[in-house]
A and B are shown apart, each in its own frame.
Chain A
């Protein structure tokens, strides 16, 4: 390693991203515009998360990257290798050993600690975007704290389906002020967002960064008579037996066979070797 500047990005880009991160931490849940760079991977593959990770990384970091909870999928492997090559940092698959965790669409099952930083890859940072396509309008709605439309959407879910059908990217309200998209994590993970670690969100194509300091109040939107529910598949993991982890459904043959296994591969492997307490 040495043919790249440390962590790939040039220093002026890092300063720009770092300034955006600091403003994001100062106004939790507000989406700070930033001048997203082209990265050597396509939009949609975590360019926002990669830029945030590159801007916060120090040489002593130990990086973990997960894609839907798994360390061994293409996206996670590629990003891990990218930082091994451009920053020379150590990597790990163990949640507890990582100092920086970049994630696509999951929060690890093991609670994160104060020394860790969780970086989310975000496709559409604007929670109101599918309700209001105009950026000028959504920006004004955030400014005026005008979130009625989001409640109408959740209400229409109930009217049509008898329950709030939104199961991922479930909107949250941060410190009673900004409605925020938690990225497409399953709503099972929403309650974990009040945590000890710093959470940073990077949306590369949409050019937004936002953040949650530790212990920030994060409330999933709901109604008194239809309270938020962190749901998961009603099974235990077929490999480790965990009844309290988020599960992926895996099709095992073409005759309808299927199994449910932990989405968090490190958690599941740790339970099977006895390293993670049952």
Chain B
């Protein structure tokens, strides 16, 4: 596949649909949304690739973690978004598997005056399901559940609120999100919906 391929077929409308899915996920932590439009090179998922096309541009340094840091992915991202590449310490977005993304402390956490200046991590998952760790907080009526890659790390991140990282979790053409405002843990093995 050429790097020229796999972008949005209809940029403004595809990006608009993708954003509504991403916003729905971020506004309602634990809910799982379909998101599509991009056809990225392997091993990038459709959901992660679509998020990159929709959110990244020359203003947003991007960290490709682990196996994603390969020529096919770099060239595709560069052609379609123009995002510069950076390490974890100064990226705006990072994408990779949980293992590849590494220590969360390595990423910008925001500052007390500007908590928005923190990184957003796109975590590539095997699957997404509304079961596992209990979630509570803004965007959740009472409680929700989601299979998180690492509950303890997410709980530590939430404890930094209003600082901290925000996460998109992606699998195939599905996306869920976990903002720093979500309190995680408490009860395990609950199933929502």
Contacts and interface: CB of A to CB of B under 8 A. Distances in A.
Please indicate whether A and B come from the same complex rather than being unrelated chains.
yes
Interface of A: 5-7, 11-12, 14-16, 18-28, 30, 32-33, 55-59, 139-140, 142-144, 175, 177-178, 198, 211-217
8 contacts: A6-B12, A6-B16, A15-B56, A26-B181, A27-B180, A140-B113, A175-B137, A178-B162
Contacts of A144: 112
B33 interface: no
Interface in B117-163: 118, 120, 137-141, 161-162
Contacts of B56: 15
Contact of A214 (B28, B112, B113, B181): B28
Interface string B32-43: 000000000000
Contacts of A32: 116
Given A6-B12, A6-B16, A26-B179, A214 B115 contact: no
B44 interface: no
A142 B114 CA distance: 10
Interface string B19-56: 11011001110000000000000000000000000111
A214 B137 CA distance: 10
Contacts of A24: 116
A188 to B, nearest CB: 23
A19 B13 contact: no
B128 to A, nearest CB: 18
Contacts of A59: 13, 16
A5 B12 contact: yes
Interface of B: 11-13, 15-17, 19-20, 22-23, 26-28, 54-57, 59-60, 92, 111-116, 118, 120, 137-141, 161-162, 166, 179-181
Given A5-B12, A212-B138, A215-B141, A56 B20 contact: yes
A24 B26 CA distance: 10
Contacts of A15: 15, 54-57, 59
Given A25-B179, A26-B181, A19 B55 contact: yes
A198 B12 contact: no
Contacts of A55: 19
A19 B60 contact: yes
B193 to A, nearest CB: 14
Nearest to A218: B138
Contacts of A211: 27
A111 to B, nearest CB: 14
A56 B55 contact: no
A7 B17 CA distance: 13
A178 B161 CA distance: 11
A203 B120 CA distance: 24
A28 B12 contact: no
A215 B11 contact: no
Given A212-B138, A215-B138, A27 B26 contact: no
B26 A25 contact: yes
A28 B113 CA distance: 15
Contacts of B116: 20, 23-24, 27, 30, 32-33
Contacts of B140: 215
Given A18-B19, A56-B19, A177-B161, A198 B27 contact: yes
Contact of B120 (A6, A22, A212, A214): A22
Nearest to A211: B27
Contacts of A12: 57, 59
B21 to A, nearest CB: 10
Contact of B54 (A18, A27, A33): A18
A198 B115 contact: no
A12 B111 CA distance: 25
B57 A23 contact: no
A213 B112 contact: no
Nearest to B15: A11
A140 B113 CA distance: 6
A103 to B, nearest CB: 18
Nearest to B111: A143
B122 to A, nearest CB: 12
A215 B12 CA distance: 30
A215 B115 contact: no
Contacts of A198: 23, 27
